[in-house]
Structure formats: structure tokens, C-alpha cells
Amino acid sequence: MKLNSIEDFLIMEVKDLHSAESQLLKALPKMAKAASSEELKEAFETHAKETATHLQRLEQAMEEFGGSPRGKTCEAMKGLISEAEEIMKAEGDNSVKDAALIIASQKVEHYEIAGYGSARALAEALGYDEMAAIFSETLDEESATDEKLTALAETLNAEAVSVGE
């Protein structure tokens, strides 16, 4: 891909986000299965449904450019999911694994928040108001998911801290 304009970079960012969301959509059911906390399982399952919607929105956003959001691999998400897989495969106390899964999930959310925030800013600067609104809606959902995970962590981290005492 060539970066001859900021629009070229926005297209690259949309493709990156699409790849990230696609990878996450495959990982979330595994993360739900690995979680022992019912609340955490539900959070992962709910976010999987949201992620499917995020993918549809990215397809809609790319219609502006007459192209497909496919064709790029998000290496950052690949690495973040690899870290989550290490946790899922680890043996040990379930409450500790749940706490670790929340941290892995929040790393993912923070990556997505950065991506959607940047994409929104670029779309706004280029005058793509509808696209900016799409990114803003997803950004709000990603931020809400991060807040839910933080609230879960407050409970589950306390359980994990008590392990081995």
C-alpha cells in the first residue's frame, strides 16, 4: 500500500481495524470458554455480538471508498490474542486466570479505542462525517466494554489476590 495521502492512511487504518475485529471475533468464544466467572463469560459473549456489529460497520465505512476492508493482517491484534491464548492454556487457580484474562482483554480494548479514536479523527479531518459517526459509535461501545471489564476486575482481582494467603 502507498501512503500518498492521509486518505490512504485512513483506508489502511480501516483495514487494520477490520482485521483486528475479525481476529477478536474468533478469539472471544475461546476466552468465554476459558473464563470461570459467569459474569466474565457473559462479558465476552456480549462483546462477541458487538464485535460482529463492528465488522459490519467497518464494511459500511469502506463503501465510501468503494473498496473492501479486507486484505491486511493486524499484527498487533495477533500478538494481543497470542498473549490471551497463553493465559487460556495456563494451569492454575481459576480466579487468577480470570483476572489475567481481564487484563488481556483490556489490552485489546485499549488498542481498539486508540484505533477507532484515530480513525474518527482522520475521518472528521477529511470531511467524512458519516464515517466519523460510525467510528464514534463503535468507539463508545469499546469504551463501555473497557469500563465493564474494569468493574469486573475490581471484584475478580480481590478473589485472585486472596489465592495462596
- Per-residue pLDDT of 36-70, as tens digits, reads 999 999 999 999 999 999 999 999 998 888 888 88
| Confidence (pLDDT) at 165 | 55
The DSSP code for 127 is: T
Contact between 99 and 153 (Cβ < 8 Å): yes
- Largest Cα–Cα separation, the chain: 59
* pLDDT tens for each residue of 114-147: 999 999 999 999 999 999 999 999 999 999 999 9
pLDDT digits (tens, 9 = 90+) for 79-112: 999 999 999 999 988 988 999 999 999 999 999 9
The CATH number of the structural domain formed by 6-63+74-158 is 1.20.1260.10
pLDDT band at 15 (very low <50, low <70, confident <90, very high): very high
- Which of the four pLDDT bands, split at 50, 70 and 90, describes residue 163? low
Cβ contact 153:102 at 8 Å: yes
What pLDDT score does 71 carry?
Answer: 83
pTM: 0.91
Q: What is the pLDDT of residue 160?
A: 64
For residues 2 and 163, which has the higher predicted lDDT (pLDDT)? Answer: 2
Q: Determine whether 47 is exposed, middle or buried from the number of CB atoms within 10 Å of its CB (0-12, 13-18, 19+).
A: buried
- The answer to whether residue 156 scores a pLDDT higher than 80 is no
Report pLDDT for 130.
94
pLDDT at 159 over 80: no
